[in-house]
Chains A and B, each alone.
Chain A
Amino acid sequence: MKAWLQLLGGLIVWAVHFAGVYLIASLADIAPPQARGPYGPVLVVLTLACVAVAVVLAIRAWRGTRDGEPVDRFRARLAALGSAVAAVAIVWQSAPALAGFD
């Protein structure tokens, strides 16, 4: 289980961020205009946190690509690049909300 979580950690963070942005955008859509305040900052925090986690996971996995059996190095490379791709996708999908669309 732990091995799979390590392998897919970055992509799972992507999923969490996506779900969060979708939820926040949906809530903002149905909230009355005066209550829309907190959503922007919440989104910024969520994005920064997810990007940070993805980057950390990528770096940690990258460090692990030098030791262990071939299968462990293979898994580490997948984890590292998966987290990097996730970070790019997180940045892209936060752009509309951070740019203040409504």
Chain B
Amino acid sequence: MSGPPEASETGFDTALYDRFPTKGRRPAGELAELERIWCAPRRWEWITVINNNYVGVYYVGAAMLFFVLAGVLALLMRAQLALPYNGVLPQETYNQVFTMHGTVMMFLFAVPAVEALGVLLLPQMLGARDLPFPRLSAYAFWAYLIGGLAFFCSLFFGLAPNGGWFMYPPLTSTTYSPGINADFWLLGIGFIEISAIAGAIEIIVGVLKTRAPGMSLDKLPIFAWAMLVFAGMIIIAFPSVILATTLLELERALGWPFFDAARGGDPMLWQHLFWFFGHPEVYIIFLPAAGAMSTIVPAVARTPLVGHWLVVLAFLATGFISFGVWAHHMFTTGMPGVSIGLFSAASMAVSLPAGVQVFAWIATVASGRMRFNTPGLFVLGSLLVFVMGGLTGVMAAMVPFDWQAHDTYFIVAHLHYVLIGGMVFPLFAAIYYWTPMSSARPLSERLGRWVFWLMFAGMHLAFLPMHLVGLMGMPRRIYTYAGGRDWEWPNLISTLGAFVFAAGVLIWIIDMIRNFRPFGPKDAGNVYEGGGLEWLPTGLYSTRSIPIVRSLYPLWDQKNLGRDVAAGRYFLPGTPTGGRETLVTSPINAEPQHLLPMPVPSGWHVWAAVFTAGFFLLLTVQAYVASVASGMLAIACVLRWCWFLDHPQKQRTVDVGAGIELSTYATGPSSTGWWAMVTTLVVGGMVLAMSVFSYVFLWSRNMEAWRPPPGTGSLAAAGAMTLAAGVLAWLANHRLVRDARHGPWQAVAMILLSGALLAAAFAVDLTAWRGGGLAAKLSAQGAIVYSILSWQGFFVAVSAIMALYVLLRGLFGYVAADRPATVQLVGLFLGYTAGQGLVGLGLMRLFPAGLS
């Protein structure tokens, strides 16, 4: 090559890639050192382990446990509905069981299962040694497991929620749901969202920043694209349900009337907030499974995916458009025709990407040589079932048809076809396909065929009749029905089908018990001959060296890749800093940017998970003192965990391979921590955005009764202080990196002052509203104003904790010009809090008061 290459994304000279694969033998002891630092857990370390090879398996296992548990609930439901006026489950039990079936399947199985697949597969698939924040995903797992099990156990005490998985008020208000059943849902599921969001942050940063060099976006595996869009959708969608559950819990616990029509609230607000989350939720569940389909179909058909870029676009388009269809769950609520039409149109649009994927799979099958092994059967079955479900979805998107079909068993049929076809079958395909990567033995092909055919036949038997019985008048969520309505035969057949499906799952469990042997020294290898990096020879350190990727199917196209990688002929063949590490690369071209030192296990994240779960569960059973104590312990554990962060290595740069030097410390937009903080702040911003929506919505329902805000004096004071706080937060980092001598103490002082100003502004604003006589319990305006203030207060409190943390770091001498990460990230948080404060002030003080 002559001359410098084209302008690259980061200035990295890609000609350096020509140094790889390196020649000659690696130094003695290099591999042993790598093995030592990535060693397997012993005894207690099985709980504190953070390596994705372990956490991923735990995670998938927990998700499948909840699948089986929720499936048993379904069998109970079908047993009850097999005959008219059956006595298997009394009414109240049935109402709890069907609510739990839906809730556990959606929140404790579906999203965690696909997130778990990401945790298990992505690092290997991307050529990274682990996820960028391993303790965060472990924390997310333990919080989910503890919270999920406790939540499920509510059934055994008759305390399970019974308002349906979407928990519409007013049915779920204290008036009509007086027990703590609904609180189990609101607080229990509410905090499991934290788990999902933590996982999403991990996946976004992992897919964008920790890829193998050369893995530019056009070579990013399709599964990674799916996970990236999945994680982005979680960040945008989940805050809406977090807000909704918080508001309903505030209404239940404190009497703030968001959804109570008598005091100016509106039950429709819940529906908007819930479905703004709820519809993207089902695409969140579908996309990773579709990504798995797009990986497994090419592997089993032994040919590249046809229309790869079209499928990538389908993911992106789905990610956007699925946010515009939420009210198609509300077509029967009496919304005006224009709105209904808008949502119907968007619902048509969102089916286009699905069709693209289906035909991409068919074209791939046509261009290859399909094998009818277990993964192959599951992907073919999935295709058929998903298409059927998608077509009934197009029917339901047609408003007048939905006016007949909504809330009947037709919709139950539709949703199970798309979920089983679009997620469960691909998940089983993925389990059979990828088990050899983690297990010493693959699963059994013979048993696998039984699993598939029983599940496939059972599924159709169970759900096909439901289309008809729904149009025969059978609504959803009924614990029994009268005889003589001609509903008996369809229901009996459905029940039979459910048990056939369950038999298939049972055989799968037997297959797992007989053949799944994880955590051993060897794995079964590339049994299905896939082409992705996850099939390279690996140890607990993932691959011995991190390869340069030149193709979408590296194992098919790059000769001798496995041999060269295992011989250490690429990046990071050892551990230059002596600890765990991986490479950080740029988002578009995957050019190496810096080395990411990674943590070793310690117990703090597990304790943090225990105490976080404790906080929410104790709150549910109204043990307030214990709950607060648990919460404070959780915060302490998190701070102790954070204390490990931002300690630069002794070596500022290291040789990552073939003499290429990279820095070991990064700040700013190229660093993983910065991305994690920004993503978290987007979550906060979405909660704020949905709060703004709620405020405007409730105003539109109470326009004459809306009281004027407090006087402009407090607005000016609070606004000025908030603005100053934001400026100081930005200035702190600015000073820190420019002045080595005075910078540190100035930065700490500015952070502290910023935090104090935020607190003062909050106090001024709160006092003004209370002084103006607005009461939270008496009107919807009071409720929403104080809830937005509470959200700001929460952020102010966290800001205060963070500012004090910075002070502590400063006192220990950990704040310096060459290690600005902590101050920078705290500054981002404080800056965001200031911005959020200004938005809240602007909204509540100036709308609608400022318009007149």
Complex: A in contact with B (CB within 8 Å): yes
B345 and A92 within 8 A (CB)? yes
**A34 in the interface, Cβ–Cβ < 8 Å?**
no
Instruction: Tell me, in angstroms, the Cα distance from A67 to B217 when the chains sit together.
Output: 16
Supposing A71-B217, A71-B588, A74-B218 touch, asked if A14 and B348 sit within 8 A by C-beta, the answer is no
In the complex, whether A30 has a CB less than 8 A from a CB of chain B is: yes
By the criterion CB–CB under 8 Å, are B340 and A96 in contact? yes
Q: Contact between B341 and A74 (Cβ–Cβ < 8 Å)?
A: no
Whether B317 lies near A85 (C-beta < 8 A) is yes
> Digit string of B325-357 for contact with A (CB within 8 Å is 1, else 0)?
000000000001111111011101100110000
**Per-position binary interface string of chain A over residues 73-102, scored 1 when its CB falls under 8 Å from any chain B CB and 0 otherwise:** 111011001100110110011011101011
- A-B pairs with the 5 shortest C-beta distances? A96-B341, A74-B218, A71-B216, A89-B349, A101-B337
B807 at the interface (CB under 8 A from A): no
Q: How far apart sit A45 and B5, CA to CA, in the bound complex (Å)?
A: 45
Contact B323–A15 (Cβ < 8 Å): yes
A-B contact pairs, 23 of them (CB 8 A): A11-B321, A15-B324, A21-B342, A22-B339, A22-B342, A26-B339, A28-B336, A29-B339, A69-B6, A71-B219, A71-B589, A75-B217, A78-B309, A78-B313, A85-B352, A86-B317, A95-B341, A96-B337, A96-B344, A96-B345, A97-B338, A102-B337, A102-B338
Is there contact, CB below 8 Å, between A25 and B309?
no
Known: A74-B217, A78-B313, A97-B341. A89 touches B321 (CB 8 A): yes
In the complex, chain B residues whose CB is within 8 Å of the CB of A96? 337-338, 340-342, 344-345
Report B348-393 residues with CB < 8 Å from chain A CB: 348-349, 352-353
B350 closest partner in A (C-beta): A89
B218 to chain A: closest residue by CB:
A74
B-contact bits for A44-82, CB 8 A (1 contact / 0 none): 000000000000000000000000111101110110011
- The complex places the Cα of A28 from the Cα of B338 at a distance, in Å, of 10
A82-B316 contact given A15-B323, A71-B589, CB 8 Å threshold: yes
Residue total for A at the interface (Cβ-Cβ under 8 A):
38
Q: Is the CB of A25 within 8 A of B336?
A: yes
For the complex, is B811 an interface residue (Cβ under 8 Å from A)? no
Max chain B Cβ within 10 angstroms of own Cβ: one of A7, A88, A101 = A101
In the docked arrangement, what's the CA distance between A93 and B588, Å?
A: 32
Would you call B320 an interface residue if the criterion is a C-beta within 8 Å of the partner chain's C-beta atoms?
Answer: yes
Tell me which residues across on chain A come within 8 A of B324, comparing CB atoms: 14-15, 18, 93
CB neighbours of B323 from chain A (8 A): 15
Given A25-B342, A81-B313: 15 more A-B contacts, CB < 8 Å: A3-B588, A14-B321, A26-B700, A69-B6, A69-B216, A71-B216, A75-B588, A78-B309, A89-B349, A93-B345, A93-B349, A96-B342, A97-B338, A97-B342, A101-B341
Answer whether A8 and B316 are a contact pair too, CB < 8 Å, given A71-B217, A89-B346: yes
- Report the minimal beta-carbon distance from A10 to chain B, rounded to whole angstroms: 9
Q: Is the CB of A29 within 8 A of B336?
A: yes
**Beyond A70-B218, A101-B338, is A11–B316 a contact (Cβ under 8 Å)?**
yes
B703 touches A30 (CB 8 A): yes
Bound CA–CA A102/B336 (angstroms): 6
In the complex, whether B310 has a CB less than 8 A from a CB of chain A is yes
By a CB distance below 8 angstroms, the chain B residues around A77 are 309
A52 CA to B400 CA, complexed, in Å: 32
Chain B residue at minimal CB-CB distance from A21: B342
B contact residues, total (Cβ < 8 Å): 33
**B273 near A: Cβ within 8 Å?**
no
Alpha-carbon separation in the docked complex, A18 to B322 (Å) = 12
Question: Is B313 in contact with A85, judged by CB distance below 8 angstroms?
Answer: yes
The interface residues of chain A lying within 8 Å CB-to-CB of B309 are: 74, 77-78
User: What does the 1/0 interface line of A1-20 toward B look like (CB < 8 Å)?
Assistant: 00100011001101100100
Interface hub of A82, A88, A93 (most chain B Cβ within 10 A): A93
- Please pick, from B218, B310, B339, B349, the residue contacting A71 in the complex, using a CB distance under 8 A: B218
Of A25, A70, A86, A102, which contacts B216 at CB under 8 A? Answer: A70
Q: B312 at interface (Cβ–Cβ under 8 A)?
A: yes
How far is A92 from B341 in the complex, measured between Cα atoms in Å? 9
Chain B residues with Cβ below 8 Å from A81 are: 310, 313
Query: For A82, what are the chain B residues with a Cβ–Cβ distance below 8 Å?
Result: 313, 316-317
- Kindly report which residue of chain A lies nearest to residue B323, judged by CB atoms: A15
CA distance A18 to B589 in the complex (A): 32
What residues of chain A lie closer than 8 Å to B219, measured between beta carbons?
71
Give CA–CA (A43, B352) in the complex, Å: 25
Knowing A70-B218, A88-B349, A92-B348 are in contact, say whether A30-B700 is a contact too (CB < 8 A).
Answer: yes
Q: Measured between alpha carbons, how far is A8 from B232 in the docked complex, in Å?
A: 13
Min C-beta distance of A34 to chain B, whole Å = 16
Q: Which residues of A contact B316 (CB under 8 A)?
A: 7-8, 11, 78, 82
Taking the closest CB of chain B, its distance from the CB of A86, in whole angstroms, is 8
Which residues of B lie under 8 Å from residue A73 when comparing CB positions?
218
CA distance A66 to B230 in the complex (A): 30
A14 touches B700 (CB 8 A): no
How far in angstroms is the closest Cβ of chain A from B687? 18
The answer for the CA separation of A52 and B345 in the assembled complex, in Å, is 19
Closest residue to A91 on the B side, CB-wise? B345
A92: chain B residues within 8 A (beta carbon) = 345-346, 348-349
B348 proximity list for chain A (CB < 8 A): 92
* Minimum distance in angstroms from A99 CB to a CB of chain B: 8
Tell me the chain B residues, 295-330 only, with Cβ under 8 Å from chain A.
309-310, 312-313, 316-317, 320-321, 323-324
Chain B residues with CB under 8 Å of A25's CB are 336, 338-339, 342
B316 to chain A, nearest CB (A): 6
Instruction: Specify the chain B residue showing the minimal Cβ separation from A71.
Output: B216
By a CB distance below 8 angstroms, the chain A residues around B310 are 81
Task: Give chain B residues whose Cβ lies under 8 Å from the Cβ of A85.
Answer: 313, 317, 349, 352-353
Q: Which residue of chain A has its CB nearest to the CB of B9?
A: A3
Question: In the assembled complex, which residues on chain A have CB atoms less than 8 Å from the CB atom of B339?
Answer: 22, 25-26, 29
Q: How far is the CB of A41 from chain B (nearest CB, A)?
A: 15
In the bound complex, residues from chain B placing their C-beta under 8 Å from that of A15 are 320, 323-324
- Collect the chain A residues with CB atoms within 8 Å of residue B352's CB: 85, 88
B215 and chain A: residue at smallest CB distance: A71
Contacts of A99 in B (CB 8 A): 341
Q: What is the CA–CA distance of A75 and B316 in the complex, to the nearest angstrom? A: 12
Complex Cα distance, B356 from A85, in Å, reads 12
Nearest to B699 among chain A residues (CB) is A30
Q: Which residue of B lies closest to A97 (CB)?
A: B338
Known: A28-B338, A29-B339, A77-B309. A93 touches B216 (CB 8 A): no
Among residues of B, the one whose C-beta sits closest to the C-beta of A92 is B345
A25 to B342 alpha-carbon distance, docked (Å): 9
